[in-house]
Structure 1
């Protein structure tokens, strides 16, 4: 987490009107309902980490609860989720409580180290024996069996003590959280190694299920389910498995309404984020993208909305628009705005449809490659010849016409003038487009990111 995100509150930034969601979550966390572990679910790049940080600050400021943030992805290299969670709790308690908690935690931590160490030795002895000559291998196998027998005996003894040690740790944790409850926010669980993510979930359920300590897991549930299947096999019902651990799930919405909006009007968070990012961009100052109410910005919004871009994908798109304009100046208003639309479409394709970008670079573009890359639901290819189609469909129609090299007589007739034909007349100035020009403009936009390499 960056320092900027770490310092954020809803008072400093709340473009997507998510503070009411935080208020309701705090209401649940501070109630008598058994709500932990609670999941804040959302696709990658939807602003989960920022929301988590703001929620944590709000919880700390409005209640007597203590809260701590854990980046599970950064911690998984240590391969010890118990140590990760205990370190987080220790960061919240005073000196006297720290010593008591350490004393109770050490036996539990030692058990994990001993079991892992013995399993490793057993595996190592057996693996190495396979590479040795048969006679030596038999002797090693015999020695290995003796070591394993001894290890198993020792493990059984350790596990007999484990329950006692875990109960002692739980009592200490409960005492630590009695007067000032603790909420542990665990972020990026979906990005961890599958085995680490599973171990973290099971540890929360079996060791940290104590009064006064609650967990908020900030994750993408689809990816977490994939981690479960990776750890246990595709035959495991990940949804049912997770039901054993998770008490409540809150999905961050992609759409929202501002105060004063009508009930029918919902705004897409990614589109609003795009508009704000374009307006703040110093590089794009003076371009048509710097203001919201024009055909060029509306087209960029259309692309983001149709693809259902995440907030992170919006950042990627805007950054590449800035790079393109920095290198070419191609988004200013010196040319008819139709050229800006084609260039923006080229940047979009480069960002999110790399195979299609490759086809355009290689001059091997076809209707089939467009449909395959973007999907019929994206471009509504059957609509591109009709009147009153949206800008994406019109742009696609122009591309298809350039591939085919002709405009049908039916489309040229005065009785049926499609948006595609009208766009050629209205979007590209008096000179219009010569055959093949649009594809070259599109290709040049994509080739810009090769930084001068031409083909």
Structure 2
């Protein structure tokens, strides 16, 4: 049994073979874009964190290689220990250098060193200003750092000379790429830009714009634009800066990978984590009340993971934790998949609500109001009945929990005059469906012995405080 979702294996011969989201077609769109505008541009692939961008990017990178493109993959987050992104970017380009082209690349590096002038004393000054109070010591340290940077400053001391150095760097780099890439543009992929230090992210953007705006090199930025925008505001010290307008200075084309079709990914996860090993066990299915648990689990999954309301990474986390927690249930124990999966879902996306349930701090109306906020965009004609069952389980098990025993008399009572049950709690899913809601409670009471369970039956196992059995 898998306890976590491993990184997908990328077959060099068929990069998208193991893609479960049918995303090869989007790579073909992007490759077509590169073929159409090969003179050089900046492409941003903008999707939320946790939506599978990195996996897609790596698959596409291999596909580009298979189609004759030279590519560089640079993880900005893993490399933001380097203060000057120019050093890291040139270091990645050097990997592609043929031995015969080494002198040409060294010439470009010399030009790059000119662009780094004053960086060392500036960094040193910022450090001593923060940590050292004595002016004489400050000046001494800065003087030493200036001495160390003299190798960069010998050739250029004036502004006009630096502008010339930028032009020469661009020209040299453009010739180098054109001479070493068989007539195709170099694809330089920068991933995790939104996760690295804000000032480092901004510095990368600035250097791409000023130093690398040349023909035959295409930068692909894999970003969460909203998070990157927050980083930009942080660097410039104002939340009033228009980060979208700022990013337009650097990004020529923006693309978002379409969301996968509903229910595709969670069905794959159901198989990957081996839920059938438990839910379909013969020793479990022999109990009539447990035999339909697989169907119930998949039905509630279809609802909870519809509308693309959570990321792929969150889905992985929910299914991984569900399978682990499921191991503490015996073959003859009630799982009640609707409430079991909903509570884990809630723990991941709204832990505050989950903790309030555990701490018994909610009234029944408050419990229902918070529940409604989570599932309101999932209610439709097809889902209403199952969601009412979920609501009923939640209300009943929470009522049992706060009263520490089976208390159906808090849910409905017998009306002796009318000789039928009278509902005391009304559905928030459909406030005009009292008869249907009452019928759900009566079904639980009459046909299933699970009605005496309380929330702790699930939360203790979800929180892994019960022993592993299976």
TM > 0.5: yes
- Partner SS for 2:9: helix
- Partner SS for 1:315: helix
Q: Does 1:297 align with 2:289?
A: no
What is the aligned residue count? 422
Q: Deviations over 1:401-435 (max 9, x none)?
A: 555622275549xx966444333344576354556
Change (3 A) 1:124 1:229: closer
Aligned partner of 2:188 among 184, 190, 193: 184
Deviation of residue 355 (structure 1)? 1.7
Aligned position for 1:342: 339
CA distance in 2, matches of 1:294, 1:394: 14
Aligned position for 2:316: 315
- Partner SS for 1:210: coil
Aligned position for 2:86: 82
TM-score by length of 2: 0.77
Deviation of residue 443 (structure 1)? 3.5
Aligned position for 2:457: 441
CA distance in 2, matches of 1:56, 1:381: 37
The answer to whether the 8 Å contact 1:104/1:169 transfers is yes
Structural mapping, 1:9-88, within 5 Å: 9-32=14-37, 36-62=41-67, 64-88=68-92
Aligned position for 1:262: none
The answer to whether the 8 Å contact 1:46/1:311 transfers is yes
Q: Deviations over 1:32-62 (max 9, x none)?
A: 3767210111111111111111211222222
The answer to whether the 8 Å contact 1:38/1:249 transfers is yes
Q: Does 1:424 align with 2:421?
A: no
Q: Does 1:378 align with 2:370?
A: no
Structural mapping, 1:327-338, within 5 Å: 327-329=328-330, 334=332
Q: Does 1:242 align with 2:234?
A: no
- Partner SS for 1:199: helix
* Gap runs ≥5 in structure 1: 256-266
Q: Does 1:170 align with 2:181?
A: no
CA distance in 2, matches of 1:438, 1:399: 9
The answer to whether the 8 Å contact 1:65/1:180 transfers is yes
The answer to whether the 8 Å contact 2:358/2:459 transfers is yes
Alpha-carbon RMSD? 4.0
Aligned position for 2:405: none
Q: Deviations over 1:322-347 (max 9, x none)?
A: 11112334xx5x4567x232222222
221-230 vs 13-22, which moves further: 13-22
Deviation of residue 98 (structure 1)? 3.0
Aligned position for 2:256: 251
Aligned position for 1:359: 356
Deviation of residue 88 (structure 1)? 2.0
The answer to whether the 8 Å contact 2:45/2:254 transfers is yes
Deviation of residue 303 (structure 1)? 1.5
Change (3 A) 1:380 1:76: same
Structural mapping, 1:121-270, within 5 Å: 121-127=124-130, 130=133, 157=157, 159-178=159-178, 179-232=183-236, 233-255=238-260, 267-268=261-262
Q: Deviations over 1:52-107 (max 9, x none)?
A: 11211222222x32112111111111222112221222212311223321222234
CA distance in 1, matches of 2:370, 2:82: 40
CA distance in 1, matches of 2:74, 2:146: 39
Q: Deviations over 1:158-217 (max 9, x none)?
A: 654432332222222211222342011111111111111111111111111111111111
- Partner SS for 1:294: helix
Structural mapping, 1:403-418, within 5 Å: 403=398, 405-407=410-412, 410-411=422-423, 418=435
TM-score by length of 1: 0.79
227-236 vs 84-93, which moves further: 84-93
The answer to whether the 8 Å contact 2:51/2:312 transfers is yes
* Gap runs ≥5 in structure 2: 1-5, 282-290, 400-409, 414-420, 425-431
Q: Deviations over 1:379-411 (max 9, x none)?
A: 339989x99724234312442355562227554
Change (3 A) 1:277 1:213: same
